[in-house]
Amino acid sequence: MRMRASVLVVFLIAVCAAPLSAKAPTSSIRPELRPGTVAQPVQLALASTKPGAGALSASRRPVPRPGSAAFVARPRAPVVSAKPAKVVLASAGNAVRVSPRPDIRPANLKRRFIVRAAGVRAQPAAPVAIGRRGSVCGDNEIKGQTMSAIPGRLKGCGVANPVRITSVAGVTLSQPATLNCRSAKALKKWVSGTVKPTVGRLGGGVASLRVAAHYSCRARNNVRGGKISEHGRGNAIDISAIILKNGVPLTVLKGWRDKVQGKILKAVHRNACGPFRTVLGPNADQHHQDHFHLDVAQHRGGGSYCR
């Protein structure tokens, strides 16, 4: 009785263990068709004759796994793309990849160029020095150089026989001054007869004059539409300071009301009325607070205007 029970237990154990030791099926079980459906034949995708189409040329055969008997290592064929390869050009620095297209030229470009060119041609030629450096205006104490005639940009301007003055009576000008000979001779007479004696030995004597303005084709006081200034005729020169040999400047702006410098500046201003026909200073108007205006323009009756 006990032996039969043992045999039965062994049999039950064997039966229960059998599914656990069974091997997996070699192929997947094909699912059954649902009721009411008809099996459709499998169609392979044919190769498209159009370049670049996404369809496969044929069904792809599965590749054997490495290590199997059917596996043989073969080099892969290069993939050829249907699209042309892009050409990448080398770029230098921050250069752009594509050159920008120029804008369309305006229709009136040619007319604008003609107007601008005409305006350039209307400008008078710059005066040219034509003589050797040395004495000019027939006076050995007037140093400079003769120049070609200066045409007037505005009506009333211009100098027929200009000279470029660099020094008078041994006193250097801070910049070459373009004048006519009448004003150059008046400047030399004022410097030698008034400026040098008045300053005397103060600071070692007079070294130079600071020139604020000389020839300039413009209206008086730069007022647009006004009368042409005597600067536009080569008749005038503006002096803003007397420089001493020790480097100290006697400026019209700061020295006119100074107790020491004011006496000298007022004396040379007063005595300029004689060589020059018009003399203007700080007492004249607001335009002459920092310089003396000196010109040789003729007034009615042959008189002078000094203020």
The tens-digit pLDDT sequence of the chain (307 residues) is 555 555 555 555 554 554 444 455 555 566 666 666 555 554 434 344 444 444 444 445 565 565 555 544 455 555 445 455 554 444 445 555 555 666 666 665 444 433 333 333 334 445 666 666 799 999 999 999 999 999 988 888 999 999 999 999 999 999 999 999 999 999 999 999 999 999 999 999 999 999 999 999 988 777 676 688 999 999 999 999 999 999 999 999 999 999 999 999 999 999 999 999 999 999 999 999 999 999 999 887 778 999 9
> Using CA of residue 239, residue 244, residue 247, residue 253, what is the dihedral sign?
negative
Sequence-distant (≥ 6) Cβ neighbours of residue 148 within 8 angstroms: 127, 128, 129, 130, 162
Integer Cα distance of 67 and 69 in angstroms: 7
Distances (CA, A) of 291 to 127, 210, 265, 295: 26, 10, 10, 13
Model confidence, pTM: 0.59
In 3-state terms, what secondary structure has residue 182?
helix
Q: What is the pLDDT of residues 94-137, one digit of tens each?
A: 555 555 666 666 665 444 433 333 333 334 445 666 666 799 99
Q: What is the pLDDT of residues 274-302, one digit of tens each?
A: 999 999 999 999 999 999 999 999 887 77
Residue 165 · residue 173 · CB < 8 Å = yes
Pairing of strands 305-306, 278-280: parallel
Pairing of strands 139-146, 305-306: unpaired
Residue 281's closest CA among 296, 299, 260, 262? Answer: 262
In 3-state terms, what secondary structure has residue 296?
coil
Residue 184's closest CA among 131, 148, 127, 143? Answer: 143
